[in-house]
A and B are shown apart, each in its own frame.
Chain A
Amino acid sequence: MSYSIVMKSLLCTAIFLLVVESAQAQMERKRSIENLPDPELFLSTSLVTAQTVSIVPKGEIQSAISHSFGSIRSGWGDLFGLDNNAAVHLGLDFGIAQNVSLGIGRTSVDDVFDLRFKWMPYRQNSSNSRPLSVGLYVNTALETLEERRFDYSFTERLSYHSSLLVARQFGRKITLQLSPSISHFNTLISQDDSPLQHTVFSTLFLGRLQLNERNSLSFETVPILLDPEAIHHWAFSYEIETGGHVFQLFLQSGYLFTEQYIIKQTTDSFWDGDIRLGFAIHRVFEMKKK
């Protein structure tokens, strides 16, 4: 008797629960994406001049406009360099395949066109099974400025730059990147009899401090190896990301926007007060609208 009553009670309870659950049939919410997204080491594909380990995703195009003004040493007369010799770089980068981008750009100073290629086969992930991002960057620049003193051939106008890009994000806030590099100019002009160094070894050093999800502070510098007298380029940038754009406001010593030119032709020292204000805007588009 007791067994029968117990079973009946349990069945009634089960049916009651069934009805209640059916009447309150709101589903349990389950996440579709369980894993954390991979860390974003830098907000943009380049800081002021130096390329970062970030790359334009496949199927996207990035346009970038970079602008630097004159030295702030000029004071109020030239509005701290804003009236002076601006250098402008226009660039387009295409995400042509997974982790591969191809770009073209032009710098207004010396009318330099650059063609660049980036390959990022190994990228730091959130699970830390890949603790570093490692990739390769190469560019070729063509100086098209008419030179009255010499008649240059096409190859004499070329210069090259290659970097191994190695970066890691520490925690979620700090990213550091080292880029051992080699740069080469086919042609250099000497104003005196000093020997010319056509090939330069350097290590670009980049860093980013993430202030919050949309704002960062970054720096880049280029210690030049084997040349103790070389003046090293420095730049500090404040970056804002919003609505698919990255805005950069920066202070820098060099004023050109191609790595080999920054390495070879920086003559101003940031720490002696030869600082220029500049800005850049990066915008990403879809190559083919969905």
Chain B
Amino acid sequence: MKVQKTIKSSISRNLSLILALVSFPIPLLAQSYYAENGTANFTSSVPLYEFTGTSKQLTGLINFNDLSVDFYLDLETLDSGIKKRDKDMRLTLETKKFPFAEFYGSLLDSVDLTNLNPQKIRTRGNFSIHGVTREIVVEGEITVEQTALHLTANWEIRLDDFNIVPPSLLIVKVDQIQKVSIDIRLDKQ
């Protein structure tokens, strides 16, 4: 009876360990940085005027184990300061159908995690919005902090590259070029 009990408890302990390993794979082995309160800005222009949709719910993960970079944003959280314009952005981006803007790629440059000065980095990956995915290279700046990474990046997209048809105001049209910027502090996992 005692032997059986020991074996059972050993099986149970090992199974728990296996389950734990499978359930929490990323933080255990990889040196990764994660946040879900980053800022993302989408800036559009019409003649003589510019407006920005801002969200403070950008989620991001940088994993130095495999050099992967993964960011996504729920586009329904974009706030331009005017509710009617927010609604218009949601309709234009068809957020019911395509709720996320996302980037998934790899770091092209190495990051020295002991260097506290800002470091220029490049990432190559797939940027998806409005159901269309295109490969882009994004340049940014990363600053290593004690237990975090501060990342900023800017890039531009052409709306027609992503099949986005901006609304027109009589004869005034929204510029095809949209500026995207992110600013996020990722905590070490």
A binding-site residues for B, Cβ under 8 Å: 3, 7, 10-11, 13-15, 17-19, 21-23, 25-27, 29-33, 40, 57, 59-60, 213-214, 241-246, 284-286, 289-290
Q: Interface size class for chain B?
A: 35 or more
Residues of B within 8 A of A29 (CB): 72, 99-100, 102
Q: How far is the CA of A39 from the CA of B5 in the complex (A)?
A: 61
A60 touches B25 (CB 8 A): no
Question: Which residue of A is nearest B62, CB measured?
Answer: A25
A11 touches B18 (CB 8 A): yes
Q: How far is the CA of A286 from the CA of B81 in the complex (A)?
A: 6
Interchain CB contact (< 8 A) of A14 among B22, B82, B100? B22
What are 15 A-to-B residue pairs whose CB atoms are below 8 Å? A17-B25, A21-B26, A22-B25, A22-B66, A25-B63, A27-B72, A31-B74, A32-B77, A57-B83, A214-B91, A243-B169, A244-B82, A244-B84, A284-B85, A290-B81
Shortest Cβ distance from A44 into chain B, in angstroms? 9
B21 touches A14 (CB 8 A): yes
Interchain CB contact (< 8 A) of A243 among B14, B32, B168? B168
User: Contacts A31-B74, A32-B74, A290-B54 given: A15-B63 contact, CB under 8 Å?
Assistant: no
B binding-site residues for A, Cβ under 8 Å: 7, 11, 14-15, 17-18, 21-22, 25-26, 28-30, 32, 46, 52, 54, 57, 59, 61, 63, 65-66, 68, 70, 72, 74, 76-77, 81-85, 87-88, 91, 99-100, 102, 104, 167-169, 174
User: Contacts A26-B104, A244-B84, A289-B81 given: A18-B74 contact, CB under 8 Å?
Assistant: no
Most buried by A among B26, B76, B83, B87: B83
Q: How far is the CA of A17 from the CA of B20 in the complex (A)?
A: 12
Interchain CB contact (< 8 A) of B21 among A18, A25, A60? A18
Q: How far is the CA of A223 from the CA of B7 in the complex (A)?
A: 86
Most buried by B among A17, A22, A31, A32: A32
User: Contacts A18-B21, A22-B25, A284-B84 given: A33-B14 contact, CB under 8 Å?
Assistant: no
A18 touches B91 (CB 8 A): no
A23 touches B84 (CB 8 A): no
